[in-house]
Structure 1
Amino acid sequence: MTEKVHILGKLMKKSNNKYKFQMQERYVKVQGSNLYYYKKENDEKELGLISLESIEFIRPYDRSIDCKKFELMSDNRLYIFAADTAYDAKQWVDTIDNLLIETREQQQLANRAKFIAETPLRIRLFDEEGIDSFYNKIQSDLDEIYPLDLTVKHYSDEITLHLHLDYARL
């Protein structure tokens, strides 16, 4: 099954040459969870690929209303692209930004589902026992795990406990 193409078209891309600001025409498409760029529109092999999950940010190159350039940061590398019009540049930025938001939300939901699935049954059922007795039960379990050194405060365990409590309340 072919992944959905979210946006595609011709853009100018800044070359990798650190010493010259040279733009090169590239055919670019965002398909599935990746941004691909090609030398020509009909090329089958991409020159490069940027995973949407690795993109730290995407934004217009400057704040001018007619800005045709945009930049994105991925894996500690800054990519600069330019569209034919400011409108086209905005379309690229908005599309990729919306995909980034969607990707991050899906990752958060997956992480949350994994955390909830891994939460012990006794924690998910805390409503039946009441919050105070439930908290005391968890604390006594933690005390059994770390009985020897009472001077050491295990903040990670306390944080884990509060995370379990927060998720159990959902």
Structure 2
Amino acid sequence: MQAQETALKGCFILEPRVFKDDRGYFFESFNQKTFEELVGQPVHFVQDNQSFSQYGVIRGIHFQKGAHAQAKLVRVLEGEVLDVAVDLREGSPTYGQHVAVKLNAENNRQLFVPRGFGHGFSVLSETAVFAYKCDNYYHKASEGGIVYNDPTLAIDWGIPEEKIQVSEKDLVLEHFKN
């Protein structure tokens, strides 16, 4: 596996070594020791989540606050998404900046989103199965979010406005300035 740090310190694109032949392919999607060596910090994942979405769905931008903050290791099992990480670490030189990475079932890329970041994705294919590991348990009272179309962040989700699908809960999230 190889890791490439994004423009946001601590946020990494991980690319596995894929072994292909006429039968198909094999790759190691996660190895604790290798992962920690690549990202340069210990991370202990405690929860795996999975979602299925259709074209145009935007999920996020979500985060957990305080002692319940979560780091995530995200990937796509089927389809393609535009995955977005937003630096919410006050005092960080990249505070308020974001990275967007296409993850799909063909490139097998993963994105490590450290604690202190917001996270979301848009579905670019007809459907997508999205999976991620978290290093802390979900805590409802600690959840937060930023509305997907926040003008300060100006994220291009790669979906025409008339095709965007967002949950009622995500439509009423706060703006970044708040």
Q: TM-score range by the shorter chain?
A: under 0.3
TM superposition score normalised by structure 2: 0.23
TM superposition score normalised by structure 1: 0.24
Q: Which has the higher contact order (CA 8 A, sep 6+)?
A: 2
Q: Which protein has the bigger helix share?
A: 1
Q: Which protein has the bigger strand share?
A: 2
